[in-house]
């Protein structure tokens, strides 16, 4: 089964690009971030017509996550269990096609030292607690999303320009490694150990034409999911289109 994570930066603004990609690639599962709308304004019909069931955790204007699946979606949970006071829509989890999956939109963090950066680190702690609790079931679990962290300098086109900055700072990287230390794997790096391939290019400063990107979107796999991993990749093509999201879809294939 093919599982994809994609920060679409507004599902309504990106509907044509999204539906075209779904039609061309036929993923079993699509994990969306930054849908930037509430459930009642989500373009359900255009996506249901392609054969998808949809679960949404929406929010007006900002954030918002969703799960699209060709199989029925069960046991939907919105928000992190250990972060019930969080009013931002950044996490949705469900079981579908025999796999527990989640779509997560980790806070951007704005800049090191700001309130938003502190909130990002708190969110990552609560995510860690929750991801730890999921491992007790010894299931195949895939947590896909925009983690807003480039794990190492290999994941940054120009590491010197980004040293210590938000998305690359040591505390953020430590928080990411702590998720891996629970037993999850960064799917992409398993079969692309040395590749400089990115998932996000800033709209500004000619980042896309210069390939000045960062790899900040990830699929984290539980041991049971890792054991079934067949292949992974990042499809840069949609980033080059007119009216593109600033993120590219990141995918993996799992033998179920």
> For the chain, how many residues are written?
256
> Does residue 36 interact with DNA by CB under 7 A?
yes
Tell me, yes or no, if 105 is annotated catalytic. Answer: yes
Closer of 161 and 170 to DNA (Cβ):
161
Binding mask 59-78 for DNA (x = CB under 7 A): -xxxx---------------
Q: Is 54 an interacting residue with respect to DNA (CB under 7 A)? A: no
Residue 12 in the binding site for DNA (CB under 7 A): yes
* Shortest distance, position 90 Cβ to DNA, whole Å: 9
Active site annotation includes 146? yes
Query: Which residues, at least 6 apart from 244, have a Cβ–Cβ distance to it below 8 Å?
Result: 17, 238
d(CA 74, CA 209) in angstroms, rounded, equals 41
Q: Is 13 in the site for DNA (CB under 7 A)?
A: yes
Taking the complex as a whole, how short is the minimal distance between the CB of residue 146 and DNA, in angstroms? Answer: 8
Whole-angstrom distance between the N-terminal and C-terminal Cα of the chain?
7
Which of residues 43 and 223 has its CB atom nearest to DNA in the complex?
43
- Smallest distance from DNA to CB 206, Å: 8
User: Would you say 68 or 94 has its CB closer to DNA?
Assistant: 68
Q: Give the number of residues in contact with DNA, rule: CB under 7 A.
A: 18
CB of 119 to DNA, least distance (A): 9
Judged by beta carbon, residue 9 or residue 96, the one nearer DNA is 9
What is the C-alpha to C-alpha distance for residues 19 and 93, in angstroms, rounded to an integer?
A: 22
Nearer to DNA, 107 or 151 (CB): 107
Active-site entry in 52, 91, 105, 117: 105
| 3-state helix/strand/coil string of the chain | CEEEEEECCCCCCCHHHHHHHHHHHCCCEEEEECCCCCHHHCCHHHHHCCCCEEEEECCCCCCCEEEEECCCEEEEEECCCCCCCCCCCCEEEEEECCEEEEEEECCCCCCCCCHHHHHHHHHHHHHHHHHHHHHHHCCCEEEEEECCCCCCHHHECCHHHHCCCCCCCHHHHHHHHHHHHCCCEEHHHHHCCCCCCCCECCCCCCCCCCCCCECCEEEEECHHHHCCEEEEEECCHHHHCCCCCCECCEEEEECC
Provide the mask over 187-226, with x wherever binding to DNA is found by CB under 7 A and - wherever it is not. Answer: ----------------xxx---------------------
Closer residue to DNA (CB): 28 or 146: 146
Catalytic residue selected from 28, 52, 91, 146: 146
Asked if residue 108 binds DNA (CB under 7 A), the reply is: yes
Binding site for DNA (CB under 7 A): 9-10, 12-13, 36-37, 60-63, 107-108, 110, 116, 203-205, 243
- Looking at the annotation, which residues are catalytic? 105, 146
């Amino acid at each position: 089964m093919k599982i994809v994570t994609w920060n679409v930066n507004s599902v309504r603004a990106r509907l044509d690009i999204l539906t075209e990609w779904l039609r061309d690639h036929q993923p079993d599962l699509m994990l969306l971030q930054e849908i930037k709308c509430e459930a009642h304004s989500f373009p359900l019909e255009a996506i249901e017509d392609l054969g998808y069931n949809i679960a949404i955790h929406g929010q007006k204007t900002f954030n918002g996550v969703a799960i699209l699946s060709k199989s029925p979606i069960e046991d939907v949970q919105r928000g992190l269990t250990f972060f019930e006071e969080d009013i931002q829509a950044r996490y949705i989890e469900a079981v579908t096609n025999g796999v527990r999956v989640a779509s997560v939109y980790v806070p951007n963090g704005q800049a090191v030292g700001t309130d938003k950066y502190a909130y990002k680190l708190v969110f990552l702690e609560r995510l860690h607690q929750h991801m730890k609790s999921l491992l007790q079931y010894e299931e195949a679990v895939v947590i896909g999303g925009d983690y807003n962290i480039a794990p190492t300098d290999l994941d940054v086109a120009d590491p010197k320009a980004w040293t210590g900055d938000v998305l690359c700072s040591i505390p953020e990287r430590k928080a990411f490694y702590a998720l891996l230390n629970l037993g999850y794997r960064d799917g992409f790096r398993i079969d692309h150990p040395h590749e400089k391939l990115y998932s996000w290019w800033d709209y500004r400063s000619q980042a896309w034409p210069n390939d000045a990107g960062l790899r900040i979107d990830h699929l984290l796999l539980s041991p049971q999911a890792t054991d079934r991993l067949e292949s992974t990749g990042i499809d840069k093509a949609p980033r080059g289109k007119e009216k593109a999201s600033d993120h590219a879809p990141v995918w993996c294939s799992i033998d179920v």
